[in-house]
A and B are shown apart, each in its own frame.
Chain A
Amino acid sequence: MTVKYEAVIGLEVHAQLQTNTKIFCSCSTKFAAEPNTNVCPICLGHPGVLPKLNEKVVEFAIKMGLATNCSIREYSVSARKNYFYPDMPKGYQISQYDKPICENGYLIVHPKNGKEKKIRITRIHIEEDAGKSIHDQGDHTLIDINRSGVPLIEIVTEPDIETAEEAGLYLAKIKQIVQYLEICDGNMEEGSLRCDANISIRPVGEQKLGTRSEIKNMNSFRNVERAINYEIKRQQELLEDGGKVVQETLLWDADANQAHPMRGKEEAHDYRYFPEPDLVPIVVLDEMILEIRKQLPELPEAIKNRFILQFNLPEYDADTLTQSKDVALYFESVAKLVRDPKLASNWVMVEVLRILNEKKCKLLDFSVKPTDLAELIGLIEHNIISGKIAREVFAIMIEDNKKPGQIVREQNLTQITDEGMLKDLISSLIQKFPGEVQQYRDGKDKVFGFFVGQVMKESKGKANPRAVNNLLKDLLK
């Protein structure tokens, strides 16, 4: 008898907040600074220093809470999480425990099976990051305290996730939201967005949860899905072989495509949480929530729906264009300047995103501004150039940083729509290829394409395709 299993997955996502200064001192949060330069007695944990909460952190956490349908606590309490680690200067991390700032939210994701899935968010709390241990410098471990005290929010889900796909979709949604809110850059590779997963499996229909393991160190979207699939399979094989899942913490090894258990000692933590006596409770009044709600930017879901309505875009287009805020804003600027928003959508989705990808370039640094792209699309819409020529012009725009109109003028790329000129060209081709003409007249429709190609070749691609079509049909008869 074979048992069918289902997976029960909860995610803990840490997002590094993009404040200018750290959570409890005025040190800079700049990434990749010289080691131990963004430090002061407070983030070094010197005797006698006291934390002073950065109010921006509270604001950012509330933004995330509102964007994920959470309720915001009027009183939330900081707590100390006690454990020793060389890159954690105070011997405790200031976090939140039983009274986090945001609670009871949710997000909805759309898996490929077509059923929409609600993933509940248990809590979002604020805390400080630890420093970094650098292990690969000879015999010694070096400590860099720059990251110590960089603000984080931790977003914890209920165990509502059932597949790696759902986990990936949820994570993508979190990334999208933090980027839209401009509270975190969402970069998993650099560690500004981190994800841990709690995974257990149980026979389908069973109510009781199985023993769970926790996987850490999955530093890309791909790794999250791979690691979850790996762990579900591992647990299933274990149970099928009559074994038992042990509660443990595993580290994902992306190179080996495997998860390894952390050493027992390192995970046997009793964090001895208690309320942080150096900080007063965080009080969030209704007026503050109202104010922040007012400042909240339009979120991806809303923009997507608006694009569908306002620009008459297919859902796929609207979804792709709103994956990142930069792209959505770029598209919208272009779409407003052209007659056919769908054409703008095609250009942004296909050409612009391809170039950005190829050049590993950010939209902000992209030389072709929305007005330039709109001008180019305008040239197509006014039959001045064809789509094919437009792609060539686009390439020149990127290379030479010139305006599309100028390029078309300088290189004489304007389409030929003059019927007389085109008729002459076609007549000379009919004389040049009598055999092919006969084939067409004998019913070989494919040969039509041959003539279109020839016209384009002779006209260096400038012949207006629609005019060529009509004339060819007439003259070949």
Chain B
Amino acid sequence: MKNNQSCLNIVSAFKNKEASPTESVKNYLAEIDAQRELNAFNFVFSEAALHSAEAVERKIEKGTAGKLAGLVVAIKDVLSIEGKPLTCSSKILENFIPLYTATAVQKLIDEDAIIIGKTNCDEFAMGSSNENSAFGSVLNPVDHTRAPGGSSGGSAVAVAASLCDFSIGTDTGGSIRQPAAFCGVYGLKPTYSLVSRFGLTAFASSFDSIGPFGKYIDDVALALEVLAGHDPKDSTSFMSQPADYVNDLSARGEKLVIGIPDEYFSSGLQPEIKTEIEDVVSRLANAGYEIRCIKLPHTDYAIAAYYILTTAEASSNLARYDGVRFGYRGQDSRTVADMYKNTRSEGFGTEVKRRIMLGTYVLSSGYYDAYYKKAQKVRRLIKQDFEKAFGEVDIIITPTSPTTAFKLGEKTTDPLEMYLSDIFTISTNLAGIPGLNIPIGSDNQGLPIGMQLLASHFCESKLLQLGKFIEKNIL
């Protein structure tokens, strides 16, 4: 059975005894097994999931079950779950079992979601194709010769291939939205700080966001409602009470003003993506939405600033993997320096090492001002671009990715080419604003096309409302 119900419907079916969580878990386990070649999961927790299902059933019986009662969830393998392996798809964390559970995951568990497994991803979330993984590439379920996008490729595929009800990914420069676009599902990167990062293995701390993938906009709203909120363990997490995202969906607010930035519809964009988005936009105009052209003039500098700042933070965040206390330790080392060298040379993959080198370089004395400081300035300018734009419009519409899913192996030899596939998503992370991928159609090879909605800080409700309108009335 392929479950094509929205999460809200599934939860009410469980509560009305029209279906059972145990049955659902068994179905998903069978499906995961049947589609093993997709390589979406690093670890599947069959027994634990069945146990959880039984526990949830007892809670449903007693009427004490939470908002996500019985929903089957897959978690990107960069989030910590007590007693379960945490690898970040890296050899350097082989055999590492964390002692605590990430706040975001705990919130899902507290609402009675069932964790079915941990999904494959690019090593330490660094990549755009899920090809940088110690567990091997993940395949795009639409076309097995193509990349699912990255870095949260496994989580996107788990939803697209119906291996779970919804999944959790992380987004540092597009790692939720781009794979959502490649696989044809909804993917939301919330405002930076809306979801606690405690328990998320850091790639670039001032960029990393945790967010959901879903088949329907409602699923994404429901998941966000549970994930969002202040966490005393994360000093950078947002202090105020988050919005009531599910209820807000059905609220019919005033007509939003939509902005279209020139800079995002440049020559590098695959023509069919442009056509599809223009089609959606014109239908929105017909539906009474005001469409305005806007400028985001510093867009060109985003990639450079992004790769300087994120690699700088990463070079420091990844220093703890030194073989001293946990994880992989390099063999046959005679001195401590040798041990560091062997551990990190053998334990990290090529892309991770490249970024550590780059980050170390840009922070080095004599280069700090020219790179890190200047990139911080660019970051402020990009933020100001968006602030100015959101003074005029409520939502910005852009493509999510310049192309649909590319072939596996197509870009692995050219890192710059690979970096460019995030060109439309990284500004969002530099500015810290929320972004949503909506699957709006497919190209002439049948590959999914994604459209990105952006809103101002903490305006997720607006994103979800417009997303809902598009899902219901435009597509």
| Chain A interface residues toward B at CB < 8 A | 41, 44-53, 80, 82, 84, 86, 89-92, 141, 143, 145, 265, 270, 272-274, 277-280
A84 touching B325, Cβ below 8 Å: no
Q: Which residues of B contact A46 (CB under 8 A)?
A: 80, 98-100, 326
Question: Does B200 lie within 8 Å of A89, measured CB to CB?
Answer: no
- Does any Cβ of A come within 8 Å of B156's Cβ? no
Report whether A274 and B372 are in contact in the complex, using a CB–CB cutoff of 8 Å.
Answer: yes
Asked whether B320 lies within 8 Å of A279 as measured between CB atoms, the reply is no
Task: Knowing A41-B99, A277-B205, A279-B235 are in contact, say whether A82-B198 is a contact too (CB < 8 A).
Answer: no
- Whether the Cβ atoms of B325 and A89 lie closer than 8 Å is yes
The chain A residue with its CB closest to the CB of B376 is A275
Provide the bound-state CA to CA distance between A273 and B316, in Å. 10
Q: Are A41 and B360 in contact (CB under 8 A)?
A: no
Q: Nearest CB to that of B323 among chain A residues? A: A86
B55: min CB distance to chain A, Å: 25
CA distance A423 to B205 in the complex (A): 93
Chain A hits for B100, CB < 8 A:
41, 46, 49
The distance in angstroms between the C-alpha atoms of A128 and B205, with both chains bound, is 19
Chain B residues with Cβ under 8 A from A141's Cβ?
A: 336
Complex: A82 Cα to B232 Cα, angstroms: 26
- B416 interface contact, C-beta 8 A: no
* CB of B195, distance to nearest CB on chain A (Å): 13
Q: How far is the CA of A41 from the CA of B80 in the complex (A)?
A: 11
Which chain A positions have C-beta within 8 A of B40?
none
- Asked if B319 contacts A91 (CB within 8 A), the reply is yes
Beta-carbon nearest neighbor of B340 in chain A:
A84
Q: Quick one: which of A48, A53, A272, A277 contacts B363, CB cutoff 8 A?
A: A272
Q: Can you name the residue of chain A whose Cβ is closest to the Cβ of B231? A: A50
Given the known inter-chain contacts A91-B320, A143-B324, please indicate yes or no for A47 contacting B236, CB distance below 8 A. no
Could you tell me the distance between the alpha carbons of A104 and B411 in the complex, rounded to whole angstroms?
Answer: 54
Which of B100, B200, B319, B372 has the largest count of A CB atoms less than 10 A from its CB? B319
Contacts of A50 in B (CB 8 A): 197-198, 233-236
Known: A82-B316, A86-B324, A89-B320. A48 touches B201 (CB 8 A): yes
Q: Does B198 contact A90, Cβ atoms closer than 8 Å? A: no
B residues engaging A (CB < 8 A)? 78-80, 86, 88, 93, 96, 98-100, 102, 197-202, 204-206, 232-236, 312-313, 315-316, 318-320, 322, 324-326, 336-337, 340, 360, 363-365, 368, 372
Q: Judge whether B235 and A53 touch: CB under 8 Å.
A: yes
Closest partner residue, chain B, to A271 (CB atom) = B365
Which of chain A's residues have a CB closer than 8 A to the CB of B232?
Answer: 52
**In the complex, what residues of A have CB within 8 A of residue B236's CB?**
50, 277-280
List residues of chain B with CB within 8 A of the CB of A53: 235
| Nearest CB on B from A142, distance (A) | 11
Partner of A280, one of B80, B235, B372: B235
Question: Nearest Cβ distance between residue B469 and chain A, in whole angstroms?
Answer: 36
The residue on A at minimum CB distance from B373 is: A274
Docked complex Cα distance between A141 and B78 (Å): 31
B205 close to A48 (CB less than 8 A): no
Check if A47 sits within 8 Å of B313, measured CB to CB: no
Q: Is A270's CB under 8 angstroms from B364's CB?
A: yes
Say how far A141's CB is from chain B's closest CB, in angstroms: 8
B319 touches A92 (CB 8 A): yes
The smallest C-beta distance from A80 to any residue of chain B, in angstroms, reads 5
The 9 A-B residue pairs whose C-beta atoms are closest, nearest first, are A91-B319, A277-B205, A272-B363, A277-B206, A47-B201, A48-B199, A45-B320, A48-B80, A48-B201
Q: Do A47 and B320 have beta carbons less than 8 Å apart? A: yes
Main DSSP-derived SS at the A contact region: loop
A385 CA to B317 CA in the complex, in Å? 73
Minimum CB–CB distance from A140 to chain B (whole Å) comes to 11
Are the CB atoms of B235 and A84 closer together than 8 Å? no
Q: What distance in Å separates the Cβ of A269 from its nearest Cβ neighbour in chain B?
A: 10
Within the complex, what minimum Cβ distance (angstroms) separates A459 from chain B? 75
Alpha-carbon gap, A48 to B84, bound state (A): 14
Contacts of A272 in B (CB 8 A): 315-316, 360, 363-365, 368
22 A-B residue pairings within 8 Å (CB atoms):
A41-B100, A44-B325, A45-B320, A46-B100, A47-B98, A47-B202, A48-B78, A48-B80, A48-B201, A49-B100, A50-B233, A50-B234, A52-B232, A82-B315, A82-B319, A90-B319, A272-B363, A272-B364, A273-B363, A274-B312, A274-B316, A277-B206
Q: A41-B98, A53-B235 are in contact. Are A80 and B316 (CB under 8 A)?
A: yes
Contacts of A51 in B (CB 8 A): 235
Check if A47 sits within 8 Å of B80, measured CB to CB.
yes
Candidate in B198, B324, B368, B372 with the most chain A CB atoms within 10 angstroms: B324
Do A82 and B313 touch across chains, with their CB atoms under 8 A apart? Answer: no
What CA separation (Å) do A92 and B205 show in the bound complex?
14
Nearest chain-A residue to B205 (Cβ)? A277
Q: With A and B bound together, what is the CA distance between A90 and B363 in angstroms?
A: 17
Cβ-defined contact, B198 with A48, below 8 A? yes
* A278–B205 alpha-carbon span in the complex (Å): 6
Do A274 and B363 touch (CB < 8 A)?
yes
Q: Shortest distance in angstroms between A400's beta carbon and chain B's nearest beta carbon?
A: 55
Neighbouring A residues of B102 by C-beta, 8 Å: 48
On whether the beta carbons of A278 and B363 are closer than 8 Å, the reply is no
**Chain B CB within 10 A, most for which of A46, A47, A90:** A47
Task: Give the distance to chain A from B1, nearest Cβ to Cβ, in Å.
Answer: 35
Distance of B236 from chain A, by nearest CB (Å): 6
**Beyond known contacts A48-B102, A52-B233: 14 more, CB 8 A cutoff:** A45-B320, A45-B325, A46-B98, A50-B236, A82-B316, A82-B363, A91-B318, A272-B360, A272-B365, A273-B363, A274-B313, A274-B372, A277-B313, A279-B235
Question: B235, A48: Cβ atoms under 8 Å?
Answer: no
Complex: A219 Cα to B337 Cα, angstroms: 28
Known: A272-B363, A277-B206, A278-B235. A48 touches B319 (CB 8 A): no
Nearest-neighbor residue (CB-CB) of B336 within chain A: A86
Determine if B322 and A84 form an interchain contact, defined as CB atoms under 8 angstroms apart.
Answer: yes
Q: Is the CB of A270 within 8 A of B320?
A: no
Q: Do A48 and B200 touch (CB < 8 A)?
A: yes
Instruction: For the complex formed, measure the closest distance between the CB of B320 and the CB atoms of chain A, giving whole angstroms.
Output: 5
* A90 to B, closest residue via Cβ: B320
Identify which of A44, A52, A272 gathers the most chain B CB atoms within 10 Å of its CB.
Answer: A272
B residues near A86, Cβ cutoff 8 Å: 322, 324, 336
Return chain A residues, CB-CB under 8 Å to B319. 82, 84, 90-92
